[in-house]
Amino acid sequence: MTTQPAHVGDITPEALAKLRSLIGVELRGMQQFNDFATSDTIRHFAWGMGDGNPLWSDREYAAKTRWGRLLAPPLFVETGRRVMSVGLPGVHALWAIDELEFFQPVYEGDQIITTTKVLAVKERQGRFSGTFIEQQMEHMYRNQRNEAMCRRIQTVFRTPTRGGRSKGKYSGIEKAKYTPELLERIFDEMFKHERRGNVPRYWEDVQVGEQLSPLVKGPLSEQDMIAAYVGIGATAGMVGGLELYHKFRMRHKSWSYTNPETGLIEAPARVHSQDWMARDIGAPGAYDNGSQRITWLSQLVTDWMGDDGFLKHHRVELRRFNAIGDTTWCRGKVVGKSVKDGEHRVEVEMQAVNQRDEITAPGRATVVLPSRESGPVKLPAKPL
């Protein structure tokens, strides 16, 4: 049974009209998790995602690259202000699509200044949740010099709390189980992954159809979730813990669930650690934060392109839940090459696939590579 009052979690005409009134309005949002890209915040994010690239964590190594200093992984910008959804009190927000355009790297010492607004609100019908709302958010990330670092369009599906569960899309899925022999095979694949590093990958050497070195993540554990949240910040962590959280939820009455077993008041982000709450929205059990798979797929690409490349565009669709216990294989292949606006571009298709051979997150990326004829990567023009 649901753990909220009957009126909370419903999509009402009044709430929908109020949400539409916010289109184009710059939102205040919550306190940022990371205001600055420091060696600590960068390392916490990269290591929390399982990304051991020394370009993110080793100053001596980074100083010898074309960048001359530590960089943050591209998706580090997401640790700035996080406004995933607004309006529709108590209506769950499922992260569906993330599309990012990058203009320059985030360097150690950069400040992250975020502005956010609602771009669009659309009413849709789903097979499993009935009526739901597609909500698009725009996040602009700038540095202390007011230079654009990234423009991000985030699409979330606002679904009635009880809709997905009643349709039973995931009702037949059981938690993954592993034998020592199966785990050994998974870890063997995991450690075969190759990182290009400081060996330039030139555009002329890339072939259409070329496969990227597979990246294995998992089996996903609660320890992995804790490590990730150290780097990205949990929704509840954005407002603090203990009395800080309870002061926040008193101002936002729909920002909580009551645990039916213990009576404890829980934050919505606990769908990522509490099976009972995840099942209440139709998930098979506690599941990952969307930014994890989005970042894993970006690591697949940055490991392949090497230190001298630049991730220009990154788009990922989150189509299925990645439950605790699942293993994810990140795979990619080159599907196109072009030269445009002086950039030597490579198009990559990606997939995150679980142990049931289900595609949980397809994606596509555009990479700019150095050229043997034209020289190093030139960063794209930045928007005003």
**47 falls within a domain:** yes
Whether residue 40 is contained in a domain is answered as: yes
Phi, psi for 49 (deg, rounded to 5): -95, 0
**Structure confidence at residue 235 (pLDDT):** 58
The domain in which residue 255 lies consists of: 13-368
User: Would residue 330 count as lying in a domain?
Assistant: yes
Tokens of 44: 């916490």
Q: Per-10-residue mean pLDDT for the chain, 384 residues long?
A: 47 91 82 89 97 98 97 93 74 91 97 93 80 93 96 91 56 85 98 98 98 98 93 68 82 76 82 80 85 97 98 97 96 98 97 97 98 92 68
Which domain CATH number covers 126? 3.10.129.10
Answer yes or no: is 228 within a domain. Answer: yes
Confidence (pLDDT) at 1: 28
What are the start-end ranges of the H helices in the chain?
A: 13-20, 39-48, 59-63, 163-167, 180-190, 222-232, 243-251, 275-280, 290-305
The pLDDT, as a whole number, for residue 352 is 98
* 117, two tokens: 């607004």
Confidence at residue 129, expressed as pLDDT on a 0 to 100 scale: 62
Give Cα 149 to chain centroid, integer Å. 17
How many distinct helices (H) and strands (E) make up the chain? Answer: 9, 12
Contact 112, 141 (CB under 8 A): yes
381 in a structural domain: no
Predicted local confidence at residue 110, as pLDDT: 97
- Number of Cβ within a 10 Å radius of residue 328: 24
Domain-located, residue 5: no
Is 2 within a domain?
no
DSSP letter (8 states) at residue 46: H
Q: What is the dihedral of CA 337, 341, 342, 348, to 10 degrees?
A: -30
Number of domains in the chain: 1
Sign of dihedral through CA atoms 90, 94, 97, 102? positive
Q: Do the domain assignments include residue 364?
A: yes
